[in-house]
Structure 1
Amino acid sequence: MSHEALQPDEQLRAALSQVIAVINPTLADRLEHDVDSYLDLIDATQQGSQEIAQLLQAAVTSARLAGASWDRIGQRMGISRQAAQQRFGRTPADNEIINLEATRRLTPVTAFDEMEALSEAGREGWHSVGFGMYFHDLARSDEQWEHLRVGAFSAKHKDLLQAGWQKIGSMWFPWAYYKRPTGAPVRTT
């Protein structure tokens, strides 16, 4: 049966099973005769569950950055607005800023305006070192920076790293952020 003929939940289940098979290629054969293989299956499934929970948090954060209300998010998840906000409304802890002249927080930004704001900041020597809901933490340098946002599902990630782009942070869903110095001196205003 092709993936197209499967219902969406069956497609997801099949894809997740394929991921586990790729991560642990000997598991399927060992399930026929090795009791410990079932414990390995538990390990792989638990790790996948933790990753899915992080992806869900990132998806909700991204929806908020895009302007979705807690009410709409709760409706989509089949829970109340309050339950959605309590479960997913945490914001990352602010980084301690030691040198205020060399760091700053670019806020508020959304998925719709952050790249333009990062481009402007990059021309002035600022580059993103971390991000969260409605903000990018920036550090100052003596050269201009360019920033790039690509979909987490993009196949470009290895190519970008090979081209000198640096990954920013670890939140990889649904966006991945990259930066690289241009070598040009900072634009003075």
Structure 2
Amino acid sequence: MSTKKKLSSEETTGLLKILKARFGKNAHRHKGIEWEDVEKRLKANPAKLWSLQQMEQTDGEPDVVAQDAKTGEYLFYDCAAESPKGRRSTCFDHEALEARKEHKPGDSALNMAGTMGIEVLNEEQYRQLQQLGEFDLKTSSWIQTPAPIRKLGGALFADRRYDHIFVYHNGASSYYAARGFRGSLRV
């Protein structure tokens, strides 16, 4: 991945083309929102475009899921059917990564999200996403964890099984090939 946080004009054009096609294909996710308005805001925020490119490159398939009525910001979530492939096999946070003595994963979910300029979905956002389709039928995704749980060494993750959304706990230092994280970005 690039160390610069701005896309070239070719990268911008390519990403906007992908996002526009996904936006058009999934109109049920963003009723009442016009692509032209989203595109205008994206073009005015190059750092946000860079973050969306990071989401795309790690197989997150970001798409608009809402607009904040107060700020006018558009909210993008990772809408890939399964937890993004390029973000799996991560423990929860840097503290958990450092606590592992053997077989450390390459990164943590919170560190990766921070580097990408995005936020890990919280439980409410995860449940909102699941209202737009069926996600994580075979994988699971780390979600933001309340401080008291994290202080005791735990972290939360969620998935969809048996047509139900489950939120579970695990040790924050655990990691699995089928667990990644989903992000959100406000533009």
Above 0.5 in TM-score? no
Choose 1 or 2 for highest CA Rg: 1
TM-score range, shorter chain: under 0.3
Give 1 or 2: higher helix fraction.
1
- TM-score by structure 1 length? 0.26
Indicate the structure whose relative CO is greater, using CA pairs within 8 Å and at least 6 residues apart.
2
Normalised by the size of structure 2, how large is the TM-score? 0.26
